[in-house]
Chains A and B, each alone.
Chain A
Amino acid sequence: MSTAERVDSYPTHWIAGFGVRAGRLLPFGATPVPDGINFAVPSNHATAVTLVLYRRGEAEPLAELPLPDQFRVGGVWAVTVFGVDADTVDYGYRVDGPFQPEAGHRFDPSVVIADPYAKALTGGEEWGVRPRPYEPTRWRSRVVHDDFDWEDDRRPGIAHEDLVVYELHVRGFTRHHSSGVRHPGTFAGLVEKIPYLKELGVNCVELMPVFEFDEFTNSRHDPESGTWWYNYWGYSTVGFFAPKASFAATGAHGLAVDELKNLVKELHRAGIEVILDVVFNHTAEGNEHGPTISFRGLDNHTFYMLTPDGGYHNFSGTGNTVDCNDPVVRGFVLDCLRYWAAEFHVDGFRFDLAAILSRGPDGAVLANPPLVEALANDPVLRDCKLIAEAWDAAGLYQVGTFPGYRRFAEWNGRYRDVLRRFVKGDSGVVGELATRFVGSPDLYGDRAPAASVNFVTAHDGFTLADLVSYNDKHNEANGEGGRDGDDGNHSWNCGVEGPTAIPEVVRLRRRQVRNLLLLLLTSQGVPMLLAGDEVGRTQRGNNNAYCHDSELSWFDWGLVARNNDMFRFTRRALAFRAAHPALRRRAHLVGGQDVTWHGREPGRPDWSGGSRLLAATLSHGDDHVYVAANAHWEDVDVTLPTGFAWRLFADTGRDVVHEPGHEPAVRTPRLNLGPRSVVVLTARPDWPDTERGDGE
């Protein structure tokens, strides 16, 4: 033996024909080591663990290796197996222990469970292909090499206040035949659409779940139409460390990890950040009637919030709730996010139903939830954006009060609701809209405006086009008798429910969409757009399209040409936002200095209950922006603030939007605001007092 050879590269035992030795306890999961693989799996309540190896694609195990007790330290079993090829062998575990549901234990050694730390899973390489029949569970764990060539990839590091988030579903974004990409519905397909995102002007994509999930969770079949209802959205995680293999064109070749990393690298190259929508509040195992995939069989008592009789708490509305503030689970979540931040170079995370992360083991709300504190202060995650969906399915609503340790931004549901109400013409909301418009200092006064992620629409709810086309949800196609989906939409159909050719209604809807977009993109905070809203994507009034893998939920790229005017409007509004620091302030605005409120006359806002007019000048140094929104059905004249050489960027009442930098001068001291319209002006003292070229 040469002095360079390592002693620990030799087996000390033989089990089931494989040379093995006691493994390293950390990291958990399967890790390639010289001449073999190290397996480490924690369970505080198991009594025995067997490592099960499979030759890829074969039904019967290649070998089963019961791990001797001397390979266990505390609650961690670890073994290094030599001579096993990571490229041809999959694995899983049989875990033994008590089956005592009333005590929270549901061990079942008849089931080979997936490693919760598995960095890739087999069994879901092709979307919509039923599980193979030979396994009680379909998922087998794979070993992954971390050898992707990142080529000096650098995270864009975009300041929070400069961020524009674009929420999209990886499959739905390019699955439609009109997408024109070589591999529709995949990470590679999204790479081909990066030029579109650049042209639009967003600088961050928020990917709906890309962790391995089972599209057959709660799937159903409509015998009348022949339609399959899938779990399309994917809020039902199977593997927290594994990318969804069927989202990769190369998934069948075992290259989903590389393909997703390449997507991140290409987005970064284009200056676009990547935020992952992560679901730690529940898993795909459901309640006691659900499948045993990994957590339940590994350590049910540790991973789930259980009722005193051993049942599952259901704060997520999906059957179970992960006990995120358990110290072991907390470590799991931290390991997971660190992995995605370090190995996939992602720029941030959006936490689904994040209010659950603030609950203790019995469901009680904690003032200082340890998991959230750990995430907020973790050095690996220091530069990551952290965004909370600050509510849960059991009624806990924490918008403005989520205990985020000044690190978490929040989806601002109150912004969404008041903006919708104002634009549809509700009275009594101007005062609150003003507060939301300047970054909700009442909610985030101790932080920054960027703590507020402002949005009008998200995947969950109406699309923007539907918001102005439907009074009511139309979810009959979901097969739940129309009972699913939110009833509080604050939507208005502009006079006709659903599609219409009546010109006045079409024009009004078009204007309302522009009003919403323009107010969103001139608000302080981080704006978020739902993919397709910029071109009028419809779900035909369905506000809960979670189960549709069809044209109902896919991005129809034909809309880009058909509604090019709307695309151009959005693009210009985004460019205008980017051009004006007054709209992207790092700190909260100072009244009278950074923001001045107006009404029909400058400096005289109307906060009365009957008011439907909001107007303000936003100033930052030499940059000034005047925004006036008239939500009334009649027009109104306003006097412009004096001392500025105003130029017109957009007037939705007259269907005008100019190319930023080419706005024409406004030559009158007063403006007429059309019915239900928004006007945006800009002024800079260095501009000559001559009319610029019209960019229209």
Chain B
Amino acid sequence: MSFAAKSHVWDGTATIRLTGELAAKSAGQFNRVIADVSAQDPHRLVLLLDELTYLSSAGLRSLVYAHQRLGRGVEIVLVGAQPEVAETIRLTGFDRSVVMQEPTGA
């Protein structure tokens, strides 16, 4: 399945909607989007994940990359992760580095 990442930055909050599969082939695309938004010095990054269907090891590392690229002062919020994606994030402990929210809490 194809992957897409659409972003906008408003009032210090960068929001990126991810759709499809975040895996080896798409990780580079996501990383470029992260690099673009980090140039605008956001203080908060919101990733809308309800349409993300798969997260591979490369995809997870992209999230780690975002975390490290933006720095610890930037809160990262993952919204609406599907159960399998959320479980992968939890099992590898990355849930401690971010805030995970249900869609209604976004």
Q: Which of B24, B58, B91, B94 contacts A183 (CB 8 A)?
A: B91
* Min CB gap B36→A, angstroms: 19
Q: Is B3 an interface residue (CB 8 A)?
A: no
Q: Which of B27, B64, B88 contacts A253 (CB 8 A)?
A: B88
User: Is B96 a contact of A85 with CB atoms below 8 Å?
Assistant: no
* Min CB gap A89→B, angstroms: 9
Considering the complex, give the chain A residue whose CB is closest to the CB of B92.
A258
- Residues of A contacting B91 with CB < 8 Å? 183, 188, 248-250, 255, 259, 262
Q: Mark B42-86, 1 if CB is under 8 A from A, else 0.
A: 000000000000001110110011011000000000000000000
Q: Which of B24, B61, B88 contacts A147 (CB 8 A)?
A: B61
CA distance A262 to B23 in the complex (A): 21
User: Is B93 a contact of A266 with CB atoms below 8 Å?
Assistant: yes
Considering the complex, give the chain B residue whose CB is closest to the CB of A260.
B92
* Min CB gap B11→A, angstroms: 27
Q: Is A647 an interface residue (CB 8 A)?
A: no
Chain A 216-270 residues near chain B, CB threshold 8 A: 248-250, 253-255, 258-259, 261-262, 265-266
CA distance A258 to B68 in the complex (A): 16
* Min CB gap B37→A, angstroms: 19
Q: Is B40 an interface residue (CB 8 A)?
A: no
Chain A 246-296 residues near chain B, CB threshold 8 A: 248-250, 253-255, 258-259, 261-262, 265-266
User: Is A88 a contact of B24 with CB atoms below 8 Å?
Assistant: yes
Q: Is B101 an interface residue (CB 8 A)?
A: no
Q: Is A476 an interface residue (CB 8 A)?
A: no
- Residues of B contacting A147 with CB < 8 Å? 61, 64-65, 68
User: Is A87 a contact of B58 with CB atoms below 8 Å?
Assistant: yes
Q: Mark A81-103, 1 if CB is under 8 A from B, else 0.
A: 00001011000000000000000
Interface size class of chain B, counting residues whose CB lies under 8 Å from the partner chain? 20 to 34
CA distance A132 to B68 in the complex (A): 38
Chain A, interface SS category: loop
Q: Which of B57, B58, B97 contacts A149 (CB 8 A)?
A: B97
Chain B, interface SS category: helix
Q: Which of B23, B64, B68 contacts A87 (CB 8 A)?
A: B23
User: Is A250 a contact of B27 with CB atoms below 8 Å?
Assistant: no
User: Is A253 a contact of B97 with CB atoms below 8 Å?
Assistant: no
Q: Given contacts A147-B65, A148-B64, are A87 and B56 in contact (CB under 8 A)?
A: yes
* Min CB gap B30→A, angstroms: 13
- Residues of A contacting B94 with CB < 8 Å? 149, 258
- Residues of A contacting B96 with CB < 8 Å? 151
Considering the complex, give the chain A residue whose CB is closest to the CB of B90.
A188
- Residues of B contacting A88 with CB < 8 Å? 24-25
CA distance A147 to B93 in the complex (A): 13
User: Is B93 a contact of A258 with CB atoms below 8 Å?
Assistant: yes
CA distance A183 to B97 in the complex (A): 22
User: Is A255 a contact of B97 with CB atoms below 8 Å?
Assistant: no
Q: Is A145 an interface residue (CB 8 A)?
A: yes
- Residues of B contacting A254 with CB < 8 Å? 56-57
CA distance A23 to B92 in the complex (A): 32
Considering the complex, give the chain A residue whose CB is closest to the CB of B65.
A147
CA distance A85 to B96 in the complex (A): 28
CA distance A253 to B92 in the complex (A): 11
Considering the complex, give the chain B residue whose CB is closest to the CB of A266.
B93
- Residues of B contacting A87 with CB < 8 Å? 23-24, 27, 56-58
- Residues of B contacting A148 with CB < 8 Å? 64
Considering the complex, give the chain B residue whose CB is closest to the CB of A148.
B64
* Min CB gap B26→A, angstroms: 11
- Residues of A contacting B60 with CB < 8 Å? 255, 258
CA distance A600 to B93 in the complex (A): 57
Q: Given contacts A87-B24, A148-B64, are A262 and B58 in contact (CB under 8 A)?
A: no
- Residues of B contacting A85 with CB < 8 Å? 24
* Min CB gap A406→B, angstroms: 37
User: Is A149 a contact of B56 with CB atoms below 8 Å?
Assistant: no
- Residues of A contacting B57 with CB < 8 Å? 87, 253-255, 258
- Residues of A contacting B25 with CB < 8 Å? 88
CA distance A250 to B59 in the complex (A): 13
* Min CB gap B3→A, angstroms: 14
User: Is B64 a contact of A262 with CB atoms below 8 Å?
Assistant: no
Considering the complex, give the chain A residue whose CB is closest to the CB of B96.
A151
CA distance A183 to B65 in the complex (A): 27
- Residues of A contacting B97 with CB < 8 Å? 149, 151
* Min CB gap B64→A, angstroms: 5
Considering the complex, give the chain A residue whose CB is closest to the CB of B63.
A149
* Min CB gap B97→A, angstroms: 5
CA distance A205 to B96 in the complex (A): 23
* Min CB gap A260→B, angstroms: 10
CA distance A275 to B93 in the complex (A): 20
- Residues of A contacting B61 with CB < 8 Å? 145, 147
Considering the complex, give the chain A residue whose CB is closest to the CB of B54.
A253
User: Is B68 a contact of A250 with CB atoms below 8 Å?
Assistant: no
Q: Mark A13-31, 1 if CB is under 8 A from B, else 0.
A: 0000000000000000000
CA distance A259 to B87 in the complex (A): 12
Lowest 3 CB-CB distances: which A-B pairs, in order? A262-B93, A87-B24, A87-B58
Could you list 22 A-B pairs, sorted by A, with CB under 8 Å? A85-B24, A87-B58, A88-B24, A88-B25, A147-B64, A147-B65, A147-B68, A149-B94, A151-B96, A182-B87, A183-B91, A249-B91, A250-B92, A253-B57, A254-B56, A255-B57, A255-B60, A255-B91, A258-B57, A258-B92, A262-B92, A266-B93
Interfacial residues, chain B to chain A (CB-CB below 8 A)? 23-25, 27, 56-58, 60-61, 64-65, 67-68, 87-88, 91-94, 96-97
Not counting A149-B64, A254-B56, a sample of 5 additional A-B residue pairs whose C-beta atoms are within 8 angstroms of each other reads A85-B24, A145-B61, A255-B60, A259-B91, A262-B92
Interfacial residues, chain A to chain B (CB-CB below 8 A)? 85, 87-88, 145, 147-149, 151, 182-183, 188, 248-250, 253-255, 258-259, 261-262, 265-266
